[in-house]
Amino acid sequence: MEDASTVFAPWLTAWRLAPDGEPFRSAPSGAWLLPVRCGPTAAILKVASHPEEKRGGAVMAYYAGGGAAEVLAHDDQAVLLERLDGPRSLADMARGGEDEAACRILCETAARLQAPRPGPLPDLIIRLEPWFASLWPRAESDGGYFAAAARIARELLVRNEAPVVLHGDLHHGNVLDGGSRGWRAIDPKGLLGPRGYDYANMICNPDAPTARRRFERRVAIVSEMSRQDPAEVLRWLVAYTALSASWTLGSGGDPWQALDTGGLALAALSL
For residue 237, give the amino acid letter: L
Query: Taking the domains of the chain in order of start, what are their residue ranges?
Result: 4-82, 90-269
Residue 271 binned pLDDT confidence (cut-offs 50, 70, 90): low
Give the Cα separation of 127 and 216 in Å (integer): 30
Q: Looking at the domain that runs over 4-82, which CATH code has it been given? A: 3.30.200
Active-site hit among 20, 75, 123, 169:
169
Give the Cα separation of 201 and 193 in Å (integer): 15
| Active-site annotation holds for 207 | no
Give the Cα separation of 36 and 25 in Å (integer): 15
Provide mean pLDDT across the span 124-132: 94
Strands 18-19 and 175-177: unpaired
Residue 49 binned pLDDT confidence (cut-offs 50, 70, 90): confident
Give the Cα separation of 108 and 89 in Å (integer): 16
CA atoms within 13 A on the CB side of 113: 36
Provide mean pLDDT across the span 162-186: 96
171-188 in b/e burial notation, b at 16+ Cβ within 10 A? bbebbbbbeeeebbbbbb
Residue 119 binned pLDDT confidence (cut-offs 50, 70, 90): confident
CATH architecture entry for 90-269: Alpha-Beta Complex (3.90)
- Which DSSP state fits 213? H
